[in-house]
């Protein structure tokens, strides 16, 4: 049996955009300290998110392979071998039905990112992302996001068509040559005078929140419309 991720997934539209469940290959290369361990012991010791019985079953069914071949549960791993784990992915749905292309140039692509859609593969999302949708439905690949918008935020998103062009844009953003404006609806009465927040923002991906200690320089100006 060959477990393979589809290049272009099947999307299902029903009060949002769903991705038909598919197999995804997680790849790792055996570290030196893994050498000599049985394949089941390796997964049970190193990847504790699942129980040992699951890994035992995955090896027997061929969903865990070594160098592209099925092995027995007693197989002992050698260093540098390619280890594949094929997982049946069920991505969460997103509310948007499409990603609107506003400008398609030779170097950059500008789109209107809808709310609820992540920019690039992350967490549980892979095909239900701006990059994944543009590749599957418009054959636009590779794309290199030069900035990001949070999953729940909508707005203009610029993607480079090459890694070199993406680096040029990133340098312009870091040097302050690019500005972004957001419009937000707030609860309560916002002050009439301009509010300036000039702090060093640090984003903690593990906790999913930002703090203002030991981070990158950032200046944000809030103005009531």
Is 56 a catalytic site residue? no
Beta strands 195-204 and 209-222, pairing class? antiparallel
Cα angle 68, 70, 75; round to 5 = 110
What are phi and psi for residue 195, nearest 5 degrees?
A: -110, 130
Q: Which two structure tokens, joined as six digits, stand for 106?
A: 């030779």
Q: How many residues does the chain have?
A: 225
Dist CA 86 CA 130 (whole Å): 24
Strands of 67-129, DSSP E:
69-70, 82-89, 100-104, 108-113
**According to DSSP H, which parts of 10-115 are helical?**
39-46, 52-61
Query: Of 45, 53, 107, 150, which residue is the catalytic one?
Result: 150
Catalytic residues: 150
């Amino acid at each position: 049996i060959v477990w393979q991720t589809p290049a272009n997934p099947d999307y299902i539209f029903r009060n949002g955009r769903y991705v038909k469940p598919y197999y995804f290959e997680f790849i790792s290369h055996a570290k030196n300290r893994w050498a000599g361990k049985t394949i089941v012991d390796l997964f049970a010791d190193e990847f504790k998110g699942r129980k040992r019985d699951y890994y035992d079953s995955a090896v027997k069914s061929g969903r865990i392979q070594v160098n592209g071949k099925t092995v027995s549960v007693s197989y002992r791993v050698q260093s540098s071998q390619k280890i594949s784990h094929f997982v049946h992915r069920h991505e969460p749905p997103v509310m948007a039905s499409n990603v609107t292309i506003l400008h398609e140039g030779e170097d950059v692509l500008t789109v209107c990112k809808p709310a609820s859609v992540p920019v690039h593969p992350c967490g549980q999302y892979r095909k239900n992302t701006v990059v994944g949708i543009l590749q599957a439905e418009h054959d636009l690949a590779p794309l290199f996001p030069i900035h990001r918008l949070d999953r729940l935020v909508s707005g203009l998103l610029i993607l480079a068509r090459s890694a070199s062009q993406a680096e040029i844009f990133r340098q312009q953003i870091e040097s302050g040559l690019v500005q972004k404006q957001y419009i937000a609806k707030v609860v309560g009465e916002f002050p009439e005078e301009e509010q300036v927040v000039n702090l060093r923002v640090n984003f903690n991906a593990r906790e999913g929140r930002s703090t203002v200690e030991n981070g990158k320089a950032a200046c944000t100006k809030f103005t009531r419309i």
